[in-house]
Amino acid sequence: MFDVFALALPSLLAVGGIAAMVWAIVRLRRLRSAWRSGLTADAVCLRSYATTRTRRNGPHRSSTTTLTHLYEFTTPEGQTLRFEESGGPSSVVPGDTVPVRYPAGRPDRATAIPPGDSKTLVGIGALLAFLTVFVTACVGFGIFYLTVFGGLKDKAKDVIERSEDGVNAPAHSPSAPAGPTGPPDGFPTGPPEGFPTGPPKDFPTGPPEGFPSGMPTGFPSGLPSGFPGGR
């Protein structure tokens, strides 16, 4: 969810910046087309009004005032048109007559700004430069987030998974390698075939028959002849 929000916001800002760049380029092309057409007419300023925008940057505030004029003119064909235009000179007041220029066949794109007006050209150029840096920063942030933060997030996820696996694994001594848990395949589990399981055949199981019941007789009654100590 955080990834969606982190990428959606700069994406929307970049789209808005691109749309403003397109508007500025279209505005500049229409002005040049009207200046080069050679079709002119006299227009009357019906009214003018100022729009003030205040921007706050921390404890500081900055205000920008834009002057807008409403003009009315009639084409050679007898068509009467009205249009509003911002950025005109402040010296023009309601009731003044000013020349307007428009492309051939498009009187709806008329302008009262004189050809090559430096103030207008500098303003559009500065706006395009600012929007270019702004859009580049938004796109760069998205790329930086995907490459750097995305990689860090994957590494952190791997570390967490490994730590969880280590906690859940059974404890064992790191110095003693884990040995086999059972006998190898084919290991004998009993005595070999033909191994005797009891005493040999005809082995006596009791005392011998005819065991003597008294002491033996016929022992010599004296020392043998010639034995030292004898008589």
Strand partners, 65: 52
pLDDT in the model for residue 204: 63
Q: Residue 176 corresponds to which tokens in the numbers above?
A: 């003693």
E-state strands within the chain: 39-57, 60-74, 80-86, 97-102
CA distance 121 to 125: 6
CA distance 35 to 108: 14
For the ranges 28-42, 62-76, 112-126, 206-220, the lowest mean pLDDT is seen at 206-220
Please check the confidence at residue 2 and state whether its pLDDT lies above 80.
no
Print burial letters for 119-137: b (CB count within 10 Å at least 16), e (below 16).
Answer: ebeeebeebeeebeebbee
The predicted-structure confidence for 23-77, as pLDDT tens digits, reads as follows 999 999 999 999 988 789 999 999 999 888 887 776 777 788 888 999 999 998 8
The predicted-structure confidence for 149-164, as pLDDT tens digits, reads as follows 766 666 666 666 666 6
CB atoms within 10 A of CB 213: 5
Q: What is the largest CA-CA distance in the chain?
A: 186
The predicted-structure confidence for 170-198, as pLDDT tens digits, reads as follows 544 455 555 566 666 666 676 667 666 66
pTM above 0.85?
Answer: no
pLDDT in the model for residue 180: 60
pLDDT in the model for residue 38: 78
